């Protein structure tokens, strides 16, 4: 048994087609040949197109390839479908075009021929679904194409391109017209507007718009140049598609010259007037700065040191002051009682006047100030309170002055003439630096400078420059304001 089986196994191995070398080769050759045949068949059959009845010849397919485009509502409600061979050398003498499917009320329609173009104008397009267009030769279909008419729409070219210049806005308004605005099917289009300088060929600027109006800014164009502009359209809906239309007739326009140098006359006048006004204001500001403007804008604060210096001005050199009693003969001298007054007057004189007085004069002054009780407060001295040669009167508001005894004082030589020169000293003390040339009446004319210090001795009014100088030496607040 075992031996029999082994023999059988050997026989099987010997005759096994898979493992036999010759069979392998034969199988390989057969498979390769079959594959090549199928490949060649596929290549030969190719993609020549759809054939309804299958009896077409593809040998001359490339020669009869064609393309078509449609124009809807081109003539009222009628549509146009145009086809032409892609190869212009095709002999189209006996060739015909036919469209089937996608038609209303009929099954097929034949094209008309115009030179090398085949067309059909009809209302009977269904506009839904595909249609089949075939080339026929002697009733036989040579080649066919399946196409959807609504996907091959070529709009009509725009027309009436106009360019209007708006000077007030410095812009150009481009408008054009298209017949599709009144159509029912292909209403929405995309328009391409192109423009260029006439001297620059092939340098077109492109603008895409969906409306029939475009605005070009003047600043983006060259001044004083000639431009060319034209428009074309393409369907812009989600259903109708196709090709660009033909270009519209070109329109030309010229840009104005650069008018930056020219100005509006009214604007020119206004600018000149405003310039001169500003210049005048600047000049006036410079001239009046120190006197008028600066005191208002930056008022100066009173300086106490300067004020005090002005108040304590040195007497003039030519001031003739004398304490000789003989010079006071014409003046009424009122005796002043009171030791206190003397002391205070002496103290004041030492501070204000240089120590030039004689001892006799000092004694005289000292006696004169006996009993003088100067008011401790500042007296409000006004010119009105003193007369010319009238005896001294009591100061308003200074009762204590009246109670003070009369101070004997010397009389200046020009006492009778009034205190025009003399009181300058006291005036200077009182009024300060700002009023050196003031026209104020002398507060303490020598003749009237006699203080009625003691009502009991009014008959001998005693004028003392010391007393008046003491009166005048009191600084009032008003002097500060005057010094400003």
Can you tell me the distance from the alpha carbon of 131 to that of 68, in angstroms, rounded to the nearest whole number? Answer: 12
Stretch that binds another protein, among 237-245, 309-317, 355-363, 475-483 (CB under 8 A): 237-245
Among 38, 159, 239, 481, binds another protein (CB under 8 A): 239
Q: How far is the CB of 237 from another protein (least distance, A)?
A: 7
Q: Does 256 bind another protein (CB under 8 A)?
A: no
Interacting residues with another protein between 79 and 108 (CB under 8 A): 104-105
Can you tell me the distance from the alpha carbon of 203 to that of 71, in angstroms, rounded to the nearest whole number? Answer: 31
C-alpha dist (Å) from residue 83 to 121, 146, 307? 12, 13, 114
Nearest to 81 by CA among 36, 117, 43: 117
Beta carbon nearer to another protein, 120 or 150: 150
Stretch that binds another protein, among 3-11, 216-224, 235-243, 264-272 (CB under 8 A): 235-243
- Per-residue contact string for residues 141-180; x = within reach of another protein by CB under 8 A: ---------x------------------------------
Among 61, 127, 157, 321, binds another protein (CB under 8 A): 127
- Computed on alpha carbons and rounded to an integer, the radius of gyration of the chain in Å comes to 65
Q: Does 129 bind another protein (CB under 8 A)?
A: yes
Q: Which two tokens stand for residue 138?
A: 């002697």
Q: Which two tokens stand for residue 218?
A: 């003047």
Beta carbon nearer to another protein, 237 or 385: 237
Full DSSP string of 253-291:
EEPPP--SS---HHHHHHHHHHHHHHHHHHHHHHHTIII
Full DSSP string of 52-96:
SSS----TTTGGG-EEEEEEEEEETTEEEEEEEESSTT---SSEE
Among 91, 238, 300, 318, binds another protein (CB under 8 A): 238
Beta carbon nearer to another protein, 185 or 243: 185
Contacts of 81 (CB under 8 A, 6+ apart): 68, 69, 70, 71, 99, 111, 119, 120, 121, 122, 125, 149
Beta carbon nearer to another protein, 128 or 283: 128
- DSSP tally for the chain: helices H, then strands E: 11, 15
Q: Does 181 bind another protein (CB under 8 A)?
A: no
Q: How far is the CB of 111 from another protein (least distance, A)?
A: 20
Beta carbon nearer to another protein, 55 or 105: 105
User: Binding residues for another protein, how many (CB under 8 A)?
Assistant: 16
The residues of the shown chain that bind another protein, judged by CB under 8 A, are 77, 104-105, 123-124, 126-129, 150, 184-185, 237-240
């Amino acid at each position: 048994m075992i031996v029999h089986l082994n023999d059988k196994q050997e026989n099987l191995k010997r005759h096994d087609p898979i493992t036999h070398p010759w069979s392998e080769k034969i199988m390989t050759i057969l498979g390769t040949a079959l594959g090549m045949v199928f490949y060649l068949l596929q290549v030969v059959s190719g993609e020549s197109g759809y054939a309804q009845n299958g009896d077409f010849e593809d040998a001359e397919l490339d020669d009869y390839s064609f393309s078509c485009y449609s124009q809807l509502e081109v003539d009222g409600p009628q549509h146009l479908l145009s086809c032409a061979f892609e190869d212009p050398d095709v002999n189209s003498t006996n060739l015909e075009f036919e469209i089937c499917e996608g038609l209303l009320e009929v099954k097929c329609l034949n094209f008309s021929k115009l030179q090398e173009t085949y067309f059909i104008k009809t209302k009977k397009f269904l506009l839904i679904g595909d249609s089949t267009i075939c080339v026929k030769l002697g009733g036989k279909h040579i080649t066919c194409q399946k196409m959807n008419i609504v996907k091959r729409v070529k709009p009509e070219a725009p027309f009436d391109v106009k360019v209007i210049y708006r000077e007030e806005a410095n812009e150009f308004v481009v408008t054009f017209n298209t017949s599709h605005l009144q159509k029912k099917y292909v209403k929405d289009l995309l328009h391409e507007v192109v423009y260029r300088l006439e001297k620059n060929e092939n340098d077109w600027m492109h603008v895409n718009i969906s409306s029939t109006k475009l605005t070009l800014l003047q600043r983006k164009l060259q001044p004083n140049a000639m431009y060319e502009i034209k428009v074309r359209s393409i369907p812009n809906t989600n259903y109708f598609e196709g090709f660009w239309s033909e270009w519209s007739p070109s329109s030309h326009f010229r840009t104005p010259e650069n008018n930056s140098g020219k100005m509006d006359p009214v604007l020119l006048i206004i600018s000149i007037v405003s310039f001169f006004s500003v210049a005048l204001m600047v000049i006036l500001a410079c001239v009046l700065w120190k006197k008028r403007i600066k005191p208002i804008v930056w008022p100066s604060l009173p300086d106490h040191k300067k004020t005090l210096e002005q108040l304590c001005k040195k007497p003039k050199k030519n001031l003739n002051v004398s304490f000789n009693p003989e010079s006071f003969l014409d003046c009424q001298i009122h005796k002043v009682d009171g030791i206190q007054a003397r002391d205070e007057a002496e103290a004041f004189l030492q501070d204000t006047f240089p120590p030039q007085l004689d001892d006799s004069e000092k004694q005289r002054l000292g006696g004169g100030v006996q009993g003088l009780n100067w008011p401790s407060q500042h007296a409000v001295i006004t010119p009105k309170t003193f007369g010319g040669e009238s005896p001294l009167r009591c100061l308003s508001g200074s009762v204590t002055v009246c109670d003070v005894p009369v101070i004997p004082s010397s009389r200046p030589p020009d006492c009778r003439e009034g205190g025009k020169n003399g009181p300058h000293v006291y005036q200077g003390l009182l009024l300060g630096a700002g009023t050196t040339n003031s026209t104020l009446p002398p507060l303490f004319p020598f003749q009237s400078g006699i203080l009625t210090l003691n009502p009991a001795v009014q008959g001998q009014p005693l004028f003392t420059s010391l007393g008046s100088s003491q009166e005048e030496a009191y600084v009032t607040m008003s002097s500060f304001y005057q010094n400003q």
